[in-house]
């Protein structure tokens, strides 16, 4: 292992590794239940704003824009803890989700469908925890 890789993994200097697109993967989990709410991305500015404010900011790849989670819906994510992984190319946010849900489809989590296991070639998903907890048509005008 190079000394640099050792520093990244064992050191206390925060040196987030953004991809070629300038983004780093961020996973938000519900701090109480451990449920994964969403997987999103941050650019350097989103990360700085998240650290400074304690509320989650992301970068939308589809809209190509910085984005405060909840800026339209009010469903802000209060960050209780922010962690970085061994090679510093992924972030984990333990959040307190304000409002009923994190997903723009109206669900609590974006992960409301399961892929059946053990069935090679099967492509039919199954709904899990898929009840809509808010009406996205009303929340996003």
Buried b (16+ CB within 10 A) or exposed e, 28-46: bbbbeeeeebbebbbbeeb
Nearest approach, Cβ of residue 135 and a copy of itself (Å): 14
CB 82 within 8 A of CB 51: yes
Verify binding: residue 137, a copy of itself, rule CB under 8 A. Answer: no
Tell me the per-residue interface mask from 56 to 85 with a copy of itself, x by CB under 8 A, - otherwise.
Answer: -----------------------x-xxxxx
For 74: left if phi > 0, alpha if psi spans -120 to 50, otherwise beta; the answer is left
Binding site for a copy of itself (CB under 8 A): 9-15, 25, 27, 29, 33-36, 38-39, 48, 51-52, 54, 79, 81-87, 90-92, 103-105, 107, 110-120, 122-128
């Amino acid at each position: 292992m190079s000394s640099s890789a050792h520093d990244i993994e064992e050191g206390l200097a925060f040196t987030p590794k953004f991809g070629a697109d300038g983004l780093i993967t961020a996973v938000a989990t519900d701090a109480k239940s451990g449920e994964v709410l969403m997987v999103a991305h941050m650019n350097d500015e989103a990360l700085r704003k998240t650290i400074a404010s304690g509320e989650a900011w992301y970068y939308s790849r589809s809209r190509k824009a910085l984005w405060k989670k909840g800026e339209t819906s009010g469903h802000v994510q209060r960050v209780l803890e922010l962690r970085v992984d061994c090679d510093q190319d992924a972030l984990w946010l333990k959040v307190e989700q304000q409002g009923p849900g994190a997903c723009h489809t109206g669900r609590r989590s974006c992960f409301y469908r399961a892929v059946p296991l053990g069935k090679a070639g099967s492509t039919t998903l199954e709904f899990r925890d898929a009840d809509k907890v808010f009406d996205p048509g009303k929340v996003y005008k």
